[in-house]
Amino acid sequence: MRGSESYDGPALAALIAGACAIALAPIFVRFADVGSAATGFYRMFLAAVVLAPWLAAETRRHSNRARMSAVQWGLMVAAGACFGADVLFFHAASRMTSVANATLFLNFAPIFVVLGARFLFGEAVRPALVAGLGIAIVGAALLMGHSVALSLEHLHGDAFGLIAAVFYAGYLLAVSRLRGEARSTAEIMVWTSLFGAAVIVPVMLLSPEPALAGTLRGWAILLALGAVSHAGGQSLIAYALAHLPVGFSGVALLVQPLAAAVFAWVLLAEALGPVQLAGGTIVIAGVLVARRAATPRKPYAGDKAR
């Protein structure tokens, strides 16, 4: 496909909706009354609990479906481990540098997604995709630029934010490959969530921060984080990755900081100034430019979108 006229509309809508759902995560995290590692653990563990009935029903309906191969199990473990590491490094970066700095470097993830798609999956990297990626990153930087402060003092924290971006890119690439291997959204989300939660457990147990919410409100916030941002948002993204090229998907997910800014404005009364509005507009322009370069996924043998 060239241009937007034949693009898979439902998949693109799912991807954008997923980006908006994960944009709520920082707000849920802000109000959580457990430590950062525990927050990440509950995010993934509770998502797996919420999604388990879906996987059980799907397994009953498709009882004759091929079992996962050793390679596919390896991809599941890798995807979960990458997401767990992404959460740990991002939370550590948020403590060692400003949240704005950590978020800015996390938004470099599409660069690594595009590189991985090219060298691991052989996806074409057209000039329009590179241009759209550059434009969208500039827009994302403008969105949070008023809060970013680069200095040697924050070097380690900024580096951790960049490492988080690498791990999130690894997660997206692994999930994209699993979708191409005809593994369902329910399978991917339940297993990667459990593996990701397992990665965080040792850090949570060693952390001096609280691991248990002290109120029903605290548990409700953690459940919302798991159900809305992870089970909902990441499931929509996983669904979309069966239809859309992962390189373009990485660029399109840069609408997430725009959605986060809008949610912060509506829910937290954090004002949006002219620079932030301009940044959001530039992000959208970058995604539209990248969309012109996107082509339909070339599914692996047996690829079925579920």
Q: Which sequence spans correspond to the domains of the chain?
A: 9-291
Q: Are 100 and 264 in contact (CB under 8 A)?
A: no
What backbone torsions phi and psi does residue 243 show, to the nearest 5 degrees?
Answer: -115, -30
Q: Check residue 306 and give its pLDDT.
A: 53
Q: Check residue 223 and give its pLDDT.
A: 96
Task: Report the pLDDT averaged over residues 182-192.
Answer: 93
The better pLDDT of the pair 90, 39 is held by: 39
> What is the rounded CA–CA span in Å between residue 193 and residue 231?
9
Q: Check residue 142 and give its pLDDT.
A: 84
Token pair, residue 136, equals 């969208």
Task: Report the pLDDT averaged over residues 271-296.
Answer: 82
pLDDT grade, residue 270 (50/70/90)? low
The better pLDDT of the pair 25, 189 is held by: 189
From residue 169, give the alpha-carbon distance in Å to each of 103, 108, 253, 289. Answer: 14, 9, 11, 21
Q: Check residue 300 and give its pLDDT.
A: 40
Task: Report the pLDDT averaged over residues 79-107.
Answer: 81
Token pair, residue 235, equals 């499931």
Task: Report the pLDDT averaged over residues 211-218.
Answer: 92
pLDDT tens-digit profile of 121-137?
887 788 889 999 999 98
Among 54-63, 96-105, 184-193, where is mean pLDDT lowest? 96-105
State the pTM of this model: 0.86
Q: Check residue 152 and give its pLDDT.
A: 59
> What is the rounded CA–CA span in Å between residue 51 and residue 64?
21
Residue 5 predicted with pLDDT over 50: no
Share of the chain above pLDDT 70, in %: 87
Q: Check residue 202 and give its pLDDT.
A: 95
Residue 193 predicted with pLDDT over 90: yes
Element (H, E) at 126: none
> What is the rounded CA–CA span in Å between residue 163 and residue 161?
5
Residue 16 predicted with pLDDT over 70: yes
CA distance between the termini of the chain: 22
- Tell me the pLDDT of the chain averaged across its residues: 85
Q: Are 126 and 245 in contact (CB under 8 A)?
A: no
The better pLDDT of the pair 159, 167 is held by: 167
pLDDT tens-digit profile of 19-42?
999 888 878 887 888 988 999 999
